[in-house]
Amino acid sequence: MTTSSADRTPARLSAPELVATVLDPGSFECWDIPVDTSGWDEDYRAQLARASERTGLDESVLTGWGTVGGRPVAVVVNDFGFLAGSIGAATAARIVAAVRRATDEGLPLLASTSSGGTRMQEGTPAFVGMVDITRAVMDHRAAGLPYLAYLRHPTTGGVLASWGSLAHVTLAEPGALVGFLGPKVYEALNGEPFPAGVQTAENLAAHGIIDAVATADELRGLVDLALATLLDAPVPPRLPRPDALSAARPVRAVDGDHTEPPTAWEAVTATRAAERPGVRELLRLGGSGTLRLRGTEQGERDGSVLIALTRLDGQPCVVVGQDRARQTPATPMGPGALREARRAMRLAEELRLPLVTVIDTPGAELSQEAEEGSIAGEIARCIATMTTMTVPTVALLMGQGCGGGALALLPARVVVAAGNAWLSPLPPEGASVIVHGTPDRAAELAARQRVRAHDLLADGIVHTVVEERTDAEPAELATALAAEVAHHLDWLTTGHGAAVVAGSTGGAGQLLRFPGAW
């Protein structure tokens, strides 16, 4: 495959138009079922109705199957005309259903993206849907079935940082904007424009992040060629993964007064405080026999992530944590940090040790170097690795949980959150810019997006919240979190729990009163 010239302007094809261009005439069969919007507020329902009227679609993705050169293939196609191709909870569910059906029916998969990322109207519950999509894609790959991706203009955010970066073969249309963070949001957050020419299909192809650039007309021939080769390859047997184990434990109150749960903005503010403990305090106060590891083993090191072999409250494990003390505007968390994180994941698998991930980040690096270093792809590969691990895994949402950099370490079998921790697809200020055109309504939007730990607990995104007392010392929080993580490691390791689904699909978890004696 050759890289096409950069002077071709991307045509904004609708999802039905792309399907008609790539598949054999008359072969497409739609798999979509109607979307229920009754649970949303009137304003959002009106936006959905207008998008549907404008595009003729009921959501931002079209799924189904057809043939290319007579070979059957499942398709998942974004439509940018429907709310900028954004991914809401129903969108994610539709994608997951299509991918799993393709897996069950033994079909190769062609996905075509054209999206601004997570749907801001739905916030964090939609954001974590990227994990479910990634898990389905990795199960599809594990079944030995081909996965092809065609990135159309534009492809940004969580879509690029998950299912858009996990294909066996990845193509993009000429001149397409392909990047982790859209340039408008970058400029709003940083006060300066993103360097020109970086987030383009041609530049990413030149840096080996995607395989080739091709027009929609050329795509049909390339898909035909790829399927002819890939479908002749032997399919390995699909190996079962062990079930996740329950982290359920009784709720026990602690003597003393406790405040009401913080507001979303109070939580955001608390986690940005300089004195707040991070992964270093967790290891120093809650760990023993700690051995720090550094680098990727390939000549690359990023100090914004910390890797260690340790015993947390006596439980042996591999820890990979985002170091809040080392993440500054001058030293943000880049793609090398995520490659270090994947080293820790591989180490845990090879040594058969439990893995603990610590999430505490204001967001991944936003720069030309990060884009060309495949920051979005590294996020996707971390998510993919997490969803396919066979050793016990516990994620600790310890502080800030901003963007794809946070999501990269989230998909564990048990997720524990500190009471003031939060998870959001963007900094609240950036989300406010997208929805309202100004960062001034960040507090309001953070509340609407259900970013705080107590909302994540209610939504089943985390399993346990360790409540923070306002009068507690930082060291107490670090010690209590280490003990809580250790409890779940013991539970997972000894196998005394009942089955639960990891990551974003569990039921409501347990609220624990911090610090608590067990």
Q: What is the pLDDT of residue 495?
A: 60
Q: Helix, strand, coil: what percent of the chain each, to 5?
A: 40, 20, 40
397 touches 415 (CB < 8 A): yes
Alpha-carbon distance of 416 to 269, in angstroms, equals: 20
236 touches 247 (CB < 8 A): no
Alpha-carbon distance of 491 to 389, in angstroms, equals: 17
Q: What is the pLDDT of residue 434?
A: 87
Write down the residue that tokens 């959002």 correspond to.
44
Q: What is the pLDDT of residue 516?
A: 29
Q: Which residues of 45-67 are buried (b: 16+ CB within 10 A; e: fewer)?
A: eeebeebbeebebbbbbbbbbbb
Positive/negative CA dihedral, 189, 193, 198, 201: positive
Positive/negative CA dihedral, 460, 465, 470, 475: negative
First CA to last CA distance, the chain: 60
Same fold, 15-230 and 264-512: yes
Write down the residue that tokens 């994608």 correspond to.
95
**E strand spans, 157-193:** 169-172, 178-179
Q: What is the pLDDT of residue 399?
A: 95
480 touches 515 (CB < 8 A): yes
Q: What is the pLDDT of residue 296?
A: 65
> Which residues make Cβ contacts (< 8 Å) with residue 357, sequence separation at least 6?
319, 320, 321, 341, 386, 393, 394, 395, 396, 409, 410, 412
1 touches 214 (CB < 8 A): yes
Q: What is the pTM of this model?
A: 0.75
User: Where does residue 320 rank: exposed (0-12), middle (13-18), buried (19+ CB within 10 A)?
Assistant: buried
- DSSP string of 354-409, one letter each residue: -EEEEEEES-B--SHHHHHTTHHHHHHHHHHHHHT--S-EEEEEEEEEBHHHHHTT
Alpha-carbon distance of 381 to 371, in angstroms, equals: 15
- Kindly list the domain boundaries of the chain, sorted by start residue: 15-230, 264-512
Could you tell me where the DSSP H helices lie in 23-115?
42-55, 89-104
Backbone φ/ψ region at 175: left (φ over 0), alpha (ψ -120 to 50), beta: left
Q: What is the pLDDT of residue 378?
A: 92
Q: What is the pLDDT of residue 463?
A: 93
Tell me the one-letter amino acid at 116.
G
3-state SS track over 99-126: HHHHHHCCCCEEEEEEECCECCCCCHHH
Alpha-carbon distance of 466 to 418, in angstroms, equals: 5
Which of 266, 242, 388, 394 is closest to 318 using CA atoms? 394
Which of 143, 115, 112 is closest to 223 using CA atoms? 112
Provide the token pair at 346.
């591989």
Which residues of the chain are modeled with pLDDT < 50? 1-7, 233-258, 497-518
Alpha-carbon distance of 250 to 38, in angstroms, equals: 35
Provide the token pair at 205.
């192809």
Range 264-512 classified under CATH 3.90.226.10: yes
340 touches 380 (CB < 8 A): no
Which of 454, 410, 418, 416 is closest to 264 using CA atoms? 454
Alpha-carbon distance of 106 to 90, in angstroms, equals: 24
211 touches 160 (CB < 8 A): no
CATH number listed for the domain at residues 15-230: 3.90.226.10
